[in-house]
Structure 1
Amino acid sequence: MSEKSVAIEGIEAVRISGDASLIRLTTQDDQTMQAIMTAKPSGWLSGWFYNDCKAKGDMVVTGQILLIKARNNDWYDLSECSTDLQINLPRNASVTIDQPAFKADLQGQFSGLDIDTRAADIALSGSAQTVKIRGDAFRTRLQFDDTAQTEKIDIAGRALDTSLQFPKGTAVSYRIHAKASMLDSKLPNTPDAKPEILISGDAVRTEIR
């Protein structure tokens, strides 16, 4: 296992691309503002053959933007390396993720979340003023601890499993466009209210609490 790190004090945005990753983002004021990329052996052959598993991706700070490109092992390696990203950001930074597949756990306050993927498992606990997710098949678990009543959540894909949770007493508006849809909502659809939710896809399962 190997890792590389970079200090990110004062950044306002992170953009993550490249190969599939396990991503953990936090906004903890009492912790060091830094990004750590770790490479770990994975795959069923990894315990049989020695492989020099190194963090091959790139992390660069340009102005107030952190750019990350993950790169896993070449296909012909006997064992695989997976990329883990652990990033503690300043509050209200924006997050962009463009990877074919990933698992992300976001805990904290973010200004925006913009995702483009084919398959993903996405969890948010905290807040985000804008959420835009595009992909093929993915699951989202978004728990808003507080709202500013300006939020816009826009999720679209082919097969979606979406859960949205808000503080008690939150008024929301929502529209769901799908060929096949299952909606389980404890909150009434209040016209023009924010958070504003738009979900569209072929097969859509939505839970709103």
Structure 2
Amino acid sequence: MGGFQRMAEILKVMTVSGSLRKKSVHSALAQHLTKSTYQCCEFQSFEINTLPLFNEDLEQDGYPIHVASWQQSCREVDAVIFLTPEYNQGIPGTLKNAVDWLSRPYGSEQYRKLSIGVVNGVPGQSPGRYAAANLLHSLSQLSDRVFEQPLLLTQIYDIFEDTELTSTTAELIKMWTINFLRFTETTRANV
């Protein structure tokens, strides 16, 4: 896919889909990114469907195993791309739950240097800026490196032809991803 050449070590980027449906377009987009071949980075994904509902009582004896795995996975990457649908002008509860678990322990600064990007897709023709804005606001509480230019995709159910992205969508995702990777590299260099 080219377009971005990183000078030093490989960036580690994780994708997270906010949708739990088996045939979720957002999960398919996350898989598309994970299979992308940018010379500068490695992609991996994390499924948040195993996370228990946030409850401080669960912290008493240490974090549940899936929460600990989620937190550790986020500590081991340079960047996370959240792909979210928009439900009732907001983000899915499962995605908010995942973000809440990252905010633990209270006052922790462990994700301050994690670059974060947001892809928001909606079925209609109007960009889904509510979920993107809502998610960006929550994520800004975790990290100082939130990419403030979310990718807003409309008519999300029409972006695939069979199992491949349409050429227009593929180009949009490619350009946004290149810009996000540049942002990640630039913010890492400014440590």
TM-score class, shorter-chain normalisation, is under 0.3
TM-score by length of 1: 0.26
TM-score, structure 2 normalization:
0.28
Between the two structures, name the one with larger relative contact order (CA 8 Å, sep ≥ 6): 2
Name the structure where strand makes up a greater proportion of residues: 1
